[in-house]
Amino acid sequence: MKEKFCKDCGHLLTEKDYTNEGIVPFCNHCNQYRFPAFSTAISAIILNPDQTKIVLIQQYGRKDNILVAGYVAQGDNLESTLIREIQEELGLSVQSYRFMSSEYHKGSNTLMCNYLCTVNSENLSGTNHEIDHAAWFTFAEAVREVKRDSLVQTFLHRAIDSLK
């Protein structure tokens, strides 16, 4: 999603070469480069306490099994967003976590930052209204049940490979 107008003054942007960055939108009125904006979100490979199962969720009326994810709010960082989203959506406390990888998702113009984490319990009774269904899966089951040809599948395979 390329911005066409300056976010500060509203003038039409042009394209200008920026040393070591390539062609970047530029506002001639403000005399400023305007790097394209995008959202940032976390996604979580959530492991049970003994690290033998992964939780997958379904939400918003869709039947695809996906990962818990959430947008980073202005002023927050990735780690606090990770902990907050898991607590809010599943009612679980994060015991440990590590960053895995990130990928840009063009469909939502979002940089997805994936974490592998372990939670304090397998009890999913604290699941909130945003989740239609949540369940624990063995690694093999999760690979079969997760949304195919998706960023979720990519993150899941990376996480499982890192645990071997």
Q: What is the pLDDT of residue 162?
A: 93
Q: What is the pLDDT of residue 124?
A: 95
Q: What is the pLDDT of residue 35?
A: 86
Going from the C-alpha of 46 to that of each of 10, 41, 57, 62, 109, the distances in angstroms are 43, 16, 11, 20, 24
- Gap between the Cα atoms of 64 and 147, Å rounded: 5
- Considering only the top CATH level, what class is 39-163? alpha beta
Q: Can you tell me whether residue 154 is helix, strand or coil?
A: helix
- Gap between the Cα atoms of 41 and 115, Å rounded: 11
The verdict on pTM exceeding 0.75 is yes
Q: What is the pLDDT of residue 1?
A: 44
Q: What is the pLDDT of residue 96?
A: 98
Which is it for strands 22-27 and 32-33: parallel, antiparallel or unpaired? antiparallel
Instruction: Give the DSSP letter of residue 6.
Output: -
Q: What is the pLDDT of residue 164?
A: 82
**Series of mean pLDDT values for 10-residue runs along the chain (164 residues):** 82 91 92 90 98 96 95 96 97 97 93 98 92 97 94 96 90
